[in-house]
Chain A
């Protein structure tokens, strides 16, 4: 993500889980991406527990889920639908990307930076909420039944 050309000042915080250590001052967080490794149930459980610590305001377009490892289906212990349901419950977009593949990684980085710029309010005329409703309308309608 840092390799992308971006007019704004981009900072990435990496955390294993939430809540973040409270003894640090940090700038405003514009986007939270929860990375779920489909090969590990531990990863999913970690994300589920971390979600409880996120302020409700973030779910208005400032949260996304990124599932990795779907390419190697034999290694997956978490089903696609499980993550899809989770994302649906939290009304947030779900992206799939095999982070181990260089090409996919670069494309996903581009998308995330674009999303981040919108969420930070750096793109005039588009807000995080706009983006969310745009993304949601392209979702598979059958997910609503879940």
Chain B
């Protein structure tokens, strides 16, 4: 009788301990872990670093995902995982899946002549958090350091009266040695000014401006903004004109093929290389041009030509890799070289949103 009673007491005690984790936090863990693809599960959990090696070894990866999730949530409960631990896991997941978010770019500036104090990461973090907490009372702020003096910040927004919504967070990646921060586009637009203010004040800057640059590819945005894209890579086929590659023939070698426009082709190649370089282009998915210009036409007359007011239209170029596509236009014979500077200035100016008005 006695051992059984003991067993019962221990069992009940175990149950009690498990229930110490808040239900909302447990649900939050469940939802994050469910998002993680099975192939990445171990890698992400190891990167997260909260569960120990021993605990991870007890996990059976071959079972159905729902059961796996239950096991993992139990492990987290056993180790008394907090909301902040869950937020860190969310950051790790987002770091692995950064392409799922669309990133905006912000640039901060200091007053001219202002001292550039030595940057203190801990002071930045505490200042940033305080500013948001003072303004909103209910907000969850979590930090994870990354390479190149960068920090990933996750913010779950609440209001004076409502708890933070953990399922619509905003992410900020701030490179502390630079005036640039990248933020995931959020639907909760009203919080952006506050976010900007917190970033500016905490990092001891004076002003923050949103750049006209947006993309899913955070690393490409980084390359454009830090001007790191013009490194030559050793790709063996980067200089072969596209159309010849696709026809699968070594056209240049056969003497029975005469290129009538060889000089022009070489000129186009040269101009393209001068504009775009030898290196792979940073990856953007679109460029948008908002035109507010008077209608100009070669034809005389026509209803549109008589309008005094500017014609408004929006032109959007989309591509899996816009800059590479632009680079291949002239060599493919689809456009004349050189291309319009409105297209080729994108990486140099760090913009893919343009507003064009009559001068």
Contact = CB atoms under 8 A, between A and B. Distances in A.
Interface of A: 2, 10-17, 20-21, 24, 26, 40, 42-43, 99-100, 102
Contacts of A13: 257-260
Contact of B257 (A12, A17, A40): A12
B333 A12 contact: no
A15 B261 contact: yes
Nearest to A100: B246
B260 A15 contact: yes
Where chain B touches its partner, the secondary structure class is loop
A12 to B, nearest CB: 5
A99 B261 contact: no
A16 B330 CA distance: 12
A43 to B, nearest CB: 8
B256 interface: yes
A15 B261 CA distance: 6
Q: Which 5 A-B pairs have the closest CB atoms?
A: A15-B260, A16-B261, A13-B258, A12-B257, A11-B256
A120 B259 CA distance: 21
Given A12-B256, A14-B259, A21-B261, 20 more contacts: A2-B254, A2-B256, A2-B257, A12-B257, A13-B258, A13-B259, A14-B257, A14-B258, A14-B260, A15-B261, A16-B264, A16-B265, A17-B261, A20-B260, A21-B260, A21-B263, A26-B258, A40-B334, A43-B333, A100-B246
Nearest to B265: A16
Interface string B67-105: 000000000000000000000000000000000000000
A42 B261 CA distance: 18
Nearest to A12: B257
Interface in B243-284: 246-248, 251, 254, 256-261, 263-265
Contacts of B265: 16
Nearest to B263: A21
A15 B254 CA distance: 16
A42 B254 contact: no
A70 B136 CA distance: 59
A42 B247 CA distance: 20
Contacts of B258: 11-14, 26
A102 B249 CA distance: 11
A14 B251 CA distance: 10
A78 to B, nearest CB: 13
Q: Which of A16, A20, A100, A102 has the most CB of B within 10 A?
A: A16
Contacts of B259: 13-15
Interface string B164-188: 0000000000000000000000000
Contacts of A40: 334
Nearest to A42: B334
Interface string B332-349: 011100000000000000
A10 B261 contact: no
Nearest to A3: B249
Contacts of A10: 256
Contacts of A43: 333-334
A56 B254 CA distance: 31
A106 to B, nearest CB: 11
Nearest to B246: A100
A17 B247 CA distance: 19
Interface in B307-352: 333-335
Contacts of A102: 248
B241 to A, nearest CB: 12
Contacts of A17: 261
A30 B256 CA distance: 15
A74 to B, nearest CB: 15
9 contacts: A2-B257, A11-B256, A13-B260, A14-B251, A14-B260, A15-B259, A15-B260, A20-B260, A42-B335
A97 B334 CA distance: 19
Nearest to B333: A16
Contact of B247 (A15, A24, A26, A99): A99
A39 to B, nearest CB: 9
A135 to B, nearest CB: 26
A125 B95 CA distance: 73
A24 B259 CA distance: 12
Contacts of B264: 16
A36 to B, nearest CB: 12
A60 B149 CA distance: 73
A26 B335 CA distance: 28
